A and B are shown apart, each in its own frame.
Chain A
Amino acid sequence: MPAWAWIVLGVVVVLLAAGIWTFNRLVSLRNRVDNGWAQIDVQLRRRYDLIPNLVESVKGYAAHERELFEHVTEARSRAIDASSVPDQVDAENVITRDLRQLLAVVENYPELKANENFLALQEELTGTESKIAYARQFYNDQVMRLNTLIGSFPSVLIAKAFGFGEREFFDIEDPIRGPAEVDFAG
């Protein structure tokens, strides 16, 4: 074979290897995004389960917070019935805000803070809230990496050819997150 043929062959091999590498990278990122979404889903479901328990156990002690209970219960059913992702995200944000407020209100009821069952429930809820936040953080990180790869050259060529689409972020309205607002004392 003449020298130019070897060079062409070399270039083809390198391009092929780069293409395969990019493709595999896209697949693994897509899987991570899907996995991240599944994690969020698991934690959101856990929260749906906890809300009725919370309302039930707090109701007896804090009767005049009824409006808050109804609000969070309503947001919960809205989130469960949501047909589109933005609707669901919207309802979840309302739940997050309501629960935060509920847990803050609870501080005014010392009898509740002395109740063993309630404390366990509060830990579960705080834990679930932070797991949701962490799951969302992981999901958004992976979406960003996937979208960056899909959006940049030359990986965009591979992404287009094999139909990899960009994903949507799970947005939160207030970006100031952190375990800080949950419970400093606990």
Chain B
Amino acid sequence: MAGAVLLLAAVGYVLGLLFATGPAGLVIAVGVAIVMSIGSYLYGDRLVLASARAREVAPTEEPRLHNIVEGLAIAAGSPKPRVYVIPERALNAFATGRDPEHSSIAVTQGLLESLSRVELEGVVGHELAHVVDRDILLGTVLATLVGAVVLISEFFMRTWWWGGIGGRRGSDSRGGGAGAIMFMVGFLFLVLAPIAGSLIRLAVSRQREYLADAQGALLTRYPPGLASALRKIQASAGIPMHAANNATAHLWMNQPSRVEGERMGSLERLFATHPPIEERIRRLEEM
């Protein structure tokens, strides 16, 4: 969390150094970073839900899902999260929000249709574990901030490219050489920033998934339920997930695939936001 905010602040800071002149630009950059952080704290969940095209459902529409969410919330001793459905065929789910009092759980239509009650309980238990552990705040803020870093980087790259800001700096007599070095540093930084963002995400999310699996099983007291759900999710891994993107990948129950029949290569495995599903199933079966 602090890492993500610092990362954004650092991006703002360096951009301020590079492109704005004097402390005014710096202050603006830090200000933007702070506003962004607060904004993603307050509205990140709505952003993430909207980007997944999730729709809130009433208890009368989805009684089974609502009953399961409410039951597990009771088991965890936390308030009932809001319940969303994502109109997608793929089997996946995620949780978002800033704390258990402001949390939402979203599952895909495909998941609702193909899982039995115990399996669905396993999945909801996993997501609720993320809620109770406050992984959701981290995940949601990361999703919005990483998204923002990418956006800002691109914005400044383009601005520089078209000479808007660079032109002004060029009027400085010392311009030439220093400007080129600045550009190199800035370029490097802007390329590295999104990668750093992903690495932060990876570091936090993989171990967290095992933990949430274990805690979810502690809530349902029935590890085979989640194991069986994961097996079904694995079997359907080829179905593309249109609503997922790079910034939100780590939030999902399982790594979303974006192309029909996509398989993970070894490089992707290295950068995967989730541990291999076989390993998760194995650990559940050992409980």
Contact = CB atoms under 8 A, between A and B. Distances in A.
Interface of A: 32, 35-36, 39, 43, 120, 123-124, 126-128, 130-131, 133-135, 137-138, 142, 177-180, 182-186
A166 B156 CA distance: 64
A186 B67 CA distance: 13
Given A120-B63, A123-B67, A186-B117, A134 B225 contact: no
A181 to B, nearest CB: 10
Contact of B117 (A36, A135, A179): A179
B125 to A, nearest CB: 10
B71 interface: yes
Given A179-B117, A179-B118, A186 B75 contact: no
A43 B67 CA distance: 12
A186 B77 contact: no
Given A127-B68, A135-B74, A138-B75, A178 B222 contact: yes
B64 A186 contact: yes
A123 B77 CA distance: 22
Contacts of A177: 221
Interface in B183-228: 219-222, 225
A130 B75 CA distance: 10
B222 A179 contact: yes
B118 A36 contact: no
Given A36-B77, A126-B117, A186-B116, A137 B67 contact: no
B99 interface: no
A120 B74 CA distance: 22
A178 B68 CA distance: 13
B48 to A, nearest CB: 27
A32 B77 contact: yes
Given A35-B77, A138-B75, A183 B117 contact: yes
Interface residues of B, number: 21
B70 interface: yes
* A interface: dominant SS: helix
Given A179-B117, A184-B116, A131 B222 contact: no
A127 B63 contact: yes
B76 interface: yes
The 9 closest A-B pairs by CB, nearest first: A127-B67, A134-B75, A131-B71, A134-B71, A134-B74, A179-B118, A130-B71, A178-B222, A123-B63
A180 B222 contact: yes
B63 A138 contact: no
Contact of B221 (A32, A39, A137, A186): A137
7 contacts: A35-B77, A123-B64, A126-B67, A130-B67, A134-B71, A177-B221, A179-B225
Q: Which of A39, A131, A182: most chain B Cβ within 10 A?
A: A131
A185 to B, nearest CB: 7
Contacts of B219: 134
B93 interface: no
A127 B221 CA distance: 16
Contacts of B72: 134
Given A127-B63, A179-B225, 14 more contacts: A123-B67, A127-B67, A127-B71, A131-B74, A134-B74, A134-B219, A138-B74, A179-B117, A179-B118, A179-B121, A180-B118, A184-B117, A185-B116, A186-B64
B76 A138 contact: yes
B77 A131 contact: no
Interface string B125-158: 0000000000000000000000000000000000
For A35, A126, A182, the residue with the greatest tally of chain B CB atoms inside 10 Å of its CB is A126
Contacts of A185: 116
A96 to B, nearest CB: 15
Nearest to A32: B77
A138 B71 CA distance: 11
Contacts of B64: 123, 127, 186
Contacts of A178: 118, 220-222
Instruction: Pick the most buried of A138, A182, A184: most chain B CB atoms within 10 A of its CB.
Output: A138
A185 B76 CA distance: 26
Contacts of A124: 63, 67
A137 B117 CA distance: 19
Contacts of A182: 117
